[in-house]
């Protein structure tokens, strides 16, 4: 299968590429083929080629919400990030390619004194990934600012979807429902005062750096928020702060995060997650659902 990609002009092509080099968890075995397109045409051609040849492929962004199994990923990983990250501004509208980082887009918004996107300033993902899971923080979500999404559907047709058509919900969207591939996003913001926007962003940055274990590899919040509870509080109250399995640990700083403290394997993380879920279930009769997306094979 790898030979099929020799001399193809899909952008950068890497063979047997360790996924730990492409996820914030720093975990994961090799992908058979990784493609990093530098423009929309290369991205679409890579997808068409994979579909026409019945090659399994998956799309990733910054790898900030992924846990890849130790056996790696068979088939093709298409990474939409560097080279496909253009951001333009027209009045109060910002256009972002799928590979644009949320943190970069928030800085662009600040530069143009545009408000309502401050919540995204510390989210470490790309625009495509953020749309896919309706990313959010500190009271804001992507659904609050998105107006139009351009995406490639399963028939290789480019379509535009309105906010309502995207079926945004908690950490989910139409992308998962239909296997859409995000190309570009249109955000509608409001004119604000530069200093006020900057102050909000500084405050959120302080909250993140003081309360979240950003100094250690992780996949962000490990669990979805259970209705009526906070996952981190449940885990802390269950006495699991600092619990370790292999190289994985419940963060000492924020119990809602499982962190990689010593070359953790995916197996380490999954076994620790299983223990956390069981203890919380037994103590509080609450089911913790994993927010991190699990990919690959053992």
From the candidates 64, 121, 221, 251, give the one annotated as an active-site residue: 221
Indicate the pTM of the whole model. 0.90
> Thinking of the domain 231-295, which architecture would CATH place it in?
Alpha-Beta Complex (3.90)
With contact defined as beta carbons under 8 Å apart, do 15 and 32 qualify? Answer: yes
The residue with tokens 């253009």 is 86
Q: Do domains 87-211 and 231-295 have the same CATH topology?
A: no
Is 64 a residue of the active site? Answer: no
Q: For residues 32 and 17, what is the distance between their CA atoms, to the nearest angstrom?
A: 7
236 CB-side CA count, 13 A: 12
pLDDT for the residue 5: 80
Write down the domain spans for the chain.
2-79, 87-211, 231-295
From the candidates 150, 171, 174, 290, give the one annotated as an active-site residue: 171
Angle of helix 194-211 relative to helix 102-111, nearest 10 degrees, comes to: 150
Query: Is the C-alpha dihedral spanning 247, 251, 256, 260 positive or negative?
Result: negative
List, for the chain, all residue ranges whose pLDDT scores fall below the cut of 50.
none
Is 291 a residue of the active site? Answer: yes
pLDDT for the residue 209: 87
The residue with tokens 């399994």 is 56
Is 45 a residue of the active site? Answer: no
Q: Which CATH number fits domain 87-211: 3.40.718.10, 3.30.465.10, 3.40.190.80, 3.50.50.60?
A: 3.30.465.10
With contact defined as beta carbons under 8 Å apart, do 24 and 124 qualify? Answer: yes
From the candidates 17, 40, 118, 291, give the one annotated as an active-site residue: 291
If we measure between CA atoms, which residue out of 41, 188, 213, 28 comes closest to residue 115? 188
pLDDT for the residue 9: 84
pLDDT for the residue 286: 97
pLDDT for the residue 1: 79
Q: Is CATH 3.30.200.20 the right assignment for the domain spanning 2-79?
A: no
Do β-strands 244-245 and 181-188 pair in parallel, antiparallel, or remain unpaired? unpaired
pLDDT for the residue 171: 87
């Amino acid at each position: 299968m790898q030979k099929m990609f020799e001399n193809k002009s899909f952008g950068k092509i890497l063979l047997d590429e360790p996924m730990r080099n492409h996820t914030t968890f720093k975990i994961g075995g090799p992908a058979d083929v990784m493609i990093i397109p530098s423009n929309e045409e290369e991205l679409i051609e890579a997808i068409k080629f994979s579909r026409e040849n019945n090659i399994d492929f998956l799309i990733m962004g910054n790898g900030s919400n992924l846990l890849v199994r130790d056996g790696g990923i068979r088939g093709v990983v298409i990474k939409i990030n560097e080279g496909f990250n253009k951001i333009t501004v027209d009045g109060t509208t910002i256009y972002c390619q799928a590979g644009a980082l949320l943190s970069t887009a928030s800085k662009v918004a600040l530069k143009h004194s545009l408000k309502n996107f401050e919540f995204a300033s510390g989210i470490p993902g790309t625009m495509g990934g953020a749309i896919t899971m309706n990313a959010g923080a500190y009271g804001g979500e992507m659904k609050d600012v998105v107006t139009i999404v351009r995406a490639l559907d399963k028939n290789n047709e480019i379509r535009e979807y309105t906010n309502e058509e995207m079926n945004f919900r908690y950490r989910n969207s139409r992308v998962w429902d239909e296997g859409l591939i995000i190309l570009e996003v249109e955000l509608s913001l409001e004119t604000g005062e530069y200093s006020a926007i900057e102050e909000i962003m500084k405050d959120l940055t302080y909250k993140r750096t003081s309360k979240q274990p950003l100094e250690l590899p992780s996949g962000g919040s490990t669990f979805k928020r259970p209705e009526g509870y906070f996952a981190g509080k449940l885990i802390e109250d269950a006495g699991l702060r600092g619990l370790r399995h292999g190289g994985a640990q419940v963060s000492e700083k924020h119990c809602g995060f499982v962190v990689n403290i010593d070359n953790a394997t995916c197996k380490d993380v999954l076994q620790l997650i299983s223990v956390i879920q069981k203890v919380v279930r037994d103590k509080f009769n609450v089911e913790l659902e994993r927010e991190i997306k699990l990919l690959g094979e053992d």
